[in-house]
Amino acid sequence: MATGMFQNGGADYFIDIVMCIDGTGSMSPIIEEVKSNALSFYKKFITALEAQDKHAAQVRIKVIVFRDYECDTNPMEESEFFLLPDQDREFNEFVSNIRAEGGGDIPENALEAIALALKSDWTTGGSKRRHAVLVFTDAEALELQARAGSANYPEGMPKDLGQLGEWWEGLDQTMGSTYQMKAGRLVIFAPSAYPWTNIQAWNRVWTTFSTAGHGLDDVEITNAIELLVGSV
């Protein structure tokens, strides 16, 4: 592995990160900023780890771009996990091709994106792991199953926010995933609105509320990285 087999107090950390990015038209004013933050995240994360004398044996990043199942022909773009820095070119290409388009009126299918993130093929390697989900959006989210009758709506979604929370807390094993509750970390950049104000009550969640239509500054991204690094 290009990152090397380093250890933190005898524990080799395998870290997976899923970035859920709002790709609807309302994100147009800030999508380039979000993409820039996504592309620079790995290097900033590794630098912050090393500054605290911490090291990761493996880091992978996956991207899910979400829109609206009722309004868009491509409502959910889901990548594989990219092993970084080995697959840096493929990761950069996927992120660079994200366009802010469609979505209709707000809210969007952000909760389905989180559910799909949790259903990912998370790493089970290493003596310790982190399964982190980052959400970037300028809007509130639709209730789960609100678009269940639409074409391409995925099977096996939670029935509501409560069940999604049970997935997150490891209380409901029906999702069929290698996600591990103790490894889970959720970081949300979103407006102060439903469901983000509800989700902030979950365990191992950090929220940064911002005004819709405004981007994420370096301070906010740095704070998120420091929070993740502090949990390693």
Domain boundaries, position 44? 13-230
Q: Per-residue confidence at 7, pLDDT binned at 50, 70, 90?
A: very low
Is 3 part of any domain?
Answer: no
pTM of the predicted protein model: 0.90
State the CATH number of the domain containing residue 24. Answer: 3.40.50.410
Is 101 part of any domain?
Answer: yes
Is 6 part of any domain?
Answer: no
29 has pLDDT over 70:
yes
Is 30 part of any domain?
Answer: yes
205 has pLDDT over 90:
yes
Angle formed at CA 21 by CA 186 and CA 161, multiple of 5 degrees = 50
CB 56 within 8 A of CB 3: yes
| Total structural domains within the chain | 1
| Residue matched to tokens 């250890």 | 7
Is 219 part of any domain?
Answer: yes
Is 103 part of any domain?
Answer: yes
Residues in a beta bridge with 232: none
Is 5 part of any domain?
Answer: no
pLDDT digits (tens, 9 = 90+) for 118-170: 999 999 998 889 999 999 998 999 999 999 999 899 999 999 999 999 999 99
pLDDT digits (tens, 9 = 90+) for 72-112: 888 999 999 999 999 999 999 999 999 998 877 779 999 99
Is 64 part of any domain?
Answer: yes
